[in-house]
């Protein structure tokens, strides 16, 4: 469901202001609140609502690949009738950042991270065991920085 029309002014300001540059401090939510002239409780409630709506999946840092731990893009060829079931299983792993459907034989893609290559391999193996579908890891071979921050349109 598209909740854009239901977003509050604060939720829109949070999305516009903090796609990048989350305050690096012991009190990032209080810092965000001060910058937006609202309470910390208001910021936390707005972020919770954005998560409940599925507008955001998480709030936190994004680390340069392999600077901390291990990660990979992965793909699975999932029968269409099992897509929701398999996506739910994949999403149940804390190591999975996000997953998405693609129009291809390999139709479920996700990013997984772990503390080490061995732990990452274990996560992918567990996903295979639970789904009975092969996971194809697609590790990064060359690093490119893509700035994913953009101005949101609220019309």
Q: In this structure, what is the dihedral angle of CA atoms 82, 84, 88, 90, given to the nearest 10 degrees?
A: 60
pLDDT at position 22 is 85
3 state DSSP class of 147: coil
pLDDT at position 55 is 83
Q: Domain limits of the chain?
A: 7-53, 70-138
pLDDT at position 98 is 78
CB-based contact 135:74 (threshold 8 Å): yes
Instruction: Choose the CATH number for 70-138 among 3.30.300.30, 3.40.50.720, 3.30.70.3460, 3.90.1150.10.
Output: 3.30.70.3460
> What tokens were used for 45?
């409630």
Q: How far apart are CA 116 and CA 112, in angstroms?
A: 11
Which residues make Cβ contacts (< 8 Å) with residue 134, sequence separation at least 6?
A: 76, 77, 128
CB atoms closer than 10 angstroms to residue 144: 5
pLDDT at position 27 is 95
pLDDT at position 49 is 93
Among 13, 56, 51, 58, residue whose Cα is nearest residue 32: 13
Place of tokens 């269409």: 80
Angular region, 36: left φ>0, alpha ψ -120 to 50, beta rest: alpha
pLDDT at position 69 is 79
Among 131, 129, 141, 139, residue whose Cα is nearest residue 108: 131
pLDDT at position 37 is 97
Reported pTM:
0.60
pLDDT at position 63 is 62
CB atoms closer than 10 angstroms to residue 55: 17
CB-based contact 131:86 (threshold 8 Å): yes
pLDDT at position 97 is 81
Q: Which residues of the chain have pLDDT under 70?
A: 1-5, 61-68, 144-151, 153-155
pLDDT at position 64 is 60
């Amino acid at each position: 469901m598209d909740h854009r029309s239901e977003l509050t002014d604060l939720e829109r300001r949070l999305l516009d202001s903090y796609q990048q540059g989350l305050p690096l401090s012991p009190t990032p939510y209080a810092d965000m609140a001060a910058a937006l002239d609202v309470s910390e409780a208001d910021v936390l409630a707005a972020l919770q609502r954005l998560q409940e709506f599925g507008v955001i999946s998480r709030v936190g840092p994004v680390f340069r690949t392999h600077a901390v731990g291990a990660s990979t893009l992965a793909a699975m060829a999932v029968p269409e009738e099992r897509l929701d079931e398999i996506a739910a299983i994949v999403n149940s792993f804390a190591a999975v950042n996000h997953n998405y459907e693609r129009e291809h034989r390999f139709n479920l893609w996700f990013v997984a991270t772990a503390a080490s290559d061995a732990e990452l391999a274990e996560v992918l193996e567990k996903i295979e065991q639970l789904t009975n579908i092969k996971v194809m890891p697609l590790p990064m071979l060359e690093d490119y920085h893509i700035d994913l921050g953009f101005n949101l349109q609220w019309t």
